[in-house]
Amino acid sequence: MADARVIAVTGASRGIGAAIALELARRGFRVGCLTRGGRGPARGAADPDLARRLRAYPCDVTDEAALAEALRAVVREHGRLDGLVNNAGIHLRGPSERFASADFERVLATNATAVFRGCREAYPHLLASGGGLIVNIGSFFARLGVPHNAAYSASKAAVEALTRCLAVEWGGQGIRVVNVAPGYIETDLNRDFLRREAVRAQLAQRIPAGAPGRPEDVARLVGALFAEDIPFLTGETITLDGGQTIAY
């Protein structure tokens, strides 16, 4: 039964991560929200049914010990772990000729190294549950040449590679790994930028669907992956960009 399954979601306090946590809770899963501030989605607190399925745990994903302890805390409270969504990330941009090495390393540490650690630390808990699903949140930037985005694009390309490698390593143990790669998604952080008239016009031309997606679009896909629980689906990147990367 879905209501017996437990999923941990990193970066679940806002944006795409919050939408994913809420969608999983709506589908009956118990959700461990791993966030820096130890807070879950604000909208979840307003609904008693959702609030019962959402539990927040303080966790900085770049802190190896904190990440491991947060996952252990989820298991201590709920008795098991059936899935992980590696959503937490940062986006720093700038001209590559002036981009500081410290900033490059910070992006890789948060977006790639922390994803690997999350997968590694979740592994024994998933194994103890008889298998499970890890969903990594990548980006369509992983396959594009985007000016001023070398660090971010490299980090998301690393997530794709990690997904493939871990899927092959752990597939025989019932642990599947899938990468979801969103395109332009309108969130609280980028809403003002994406709603600029010039940006809206440009994206309307570039995106066959006509506009950026919403966090709920990503959340529904992630929720479906956990709810349908397709044993033969692993190692793949599913691009969710309104058709942008395939448009001629």
Residues serving a catalytic function are 152
CB atoms within 10 A of CB 143: 16
Identify which of 119, 37, 54 has the alpha carbon closest to the alpha carbon of residue 86. 119
Distance CA 8, CA 32 (A): 4
Question: Phi then psi for 142, rounded to 5 degrees?
Answer: -60, -25
Identify which of 235, 227, 238 has the alpha carbon closest to the alpha carbon of residue 20. 227
Identify which of 132, 217, 131, 230 has the alpha carbon closest to the alpha carbon of residue 180. 217
What value, to the nearest 5°, has the Cα angle with vertex 108 and ends 104 and 190?
A: 80
